Amino acid sequence: MDIEAVRTRLLDFILIGERKEATDLLDDWARRFHWRAAIVELLEPVLDEVGKRWSAEKISLAAGYMAGKIAEDVLLKAVQAEEAIPQIKGPVVIGNIEDDYHSLGRKLVTIFLRTAGWRVIDLGNDVRAEEFVDAAVANEAKIIGVSAMMLTTAENIRNVRQEMDRRGLSGRIKLAVGGAVFKMRPELVDEVGGDGTVASAVDAPRLMAQLSGMEDAHDLA
């Protein structure tokens, strides 16, 4: 079946509230092509479309909620399927910045990092700058990854950089940033003190490798 047709079916299921049909479609794709393909080829593009329609006020609150629940269903299954992968890289501390509760992107990043062998310390939503830095120090992490969906919350990431500077850690710990706002405003990476970003969760392992010195670093913003 044509992949665009499958994406359209998935989007239709979300818009009409057919949670089981949507998750069954994603499950079937994962069985045929692996869960990574289900996320990258189907879930992410459809979530992008849902986001665009949401921004344009073309879908209901219920449809947006349904998209989130379906994504959580699939991400949970993906984590369970890959839990035996050895965590030989890292650790990496990640979370959503203070006042930010948009967790789907962060959960996708967690999955891709763990399947690439990184040990991820996920602090969840609404994380203060001090908590990020405390966790990095406690776990001897070389990278802090901070997610924010909107400009108002992305600006709080500056507090993480300031806290790192205050403790003299900016030379020892890198700050990765991500979220929809950084796609729209790439210059924001520098403005909040980030060391790099990528446009898609699937590229998160590459970013972490570059920031940790495992690969040659280059401009990722």
pLDDT surpassing 50 at residue 218: no
**Tell me: the pLDDT tens digits for 189-200?**
999 999 999 877
Fold of the domain spanning 3-81: 1.10.1240
> What's the half-sphere exposure (Cβ side, CA atoms, 13 Å) at 66?
22
Q: What percent of the chain has pLDDT over 90?
A: 49
pLDDT surpassing 50 at residue 221: no
- Over residues 200-210, the mean pLDDT reads 85
Domains 3-81 and 89-211 alike in fold: no
For the chain, give percent helix, strand, coil, nearest 5: 60, 10, 30
Total number of residues shown for the chain: 221
Q: Give the CATH architecture of domain 89-211.
A: 3-Layer(aba) Sandwich (3.40)
**Tell me: the pLDDT tens digits for 65-121?**
788 788 778 877 877 776 555 667 889 999 999 999 988 788 888 877 887 789 999
pLDDT at site 1: 67
Q: Where are the domains of the chain?
A: 3-81, 89-211
pLDDT at site 102: 85
CB 14 within 8 A of CB 65: no
CA dist 199 and 220 (Å) reads 9
- Over residues 9-26, the mean pLDDT reads 93
CA dist 156 and 147 (Å) reads 10
**Tell me: the pLDDT tens digits for 117-165?**
899 999 999 999 999 999 999 999 999 999 998 999 999 999 999 999 9
Both tokens assigned to 135:
């966790």
- Find where tokens 């406690």 sit: 138
Concatenated DSSP letters of 122-148: E--SSB-HHHHHHHHHHHT-SEEEEE-
Residue 177: which H helix or E strand, with range? strand 174-178
- Over residues 1-29, the mean pLDDT reads 92
70 vs 48, which has greater pLDDT? 70
pLDDT at site 143: 98
β 143-147/174-178 pair status? parallel
55 vs 218, which has greater pLDDT? 55
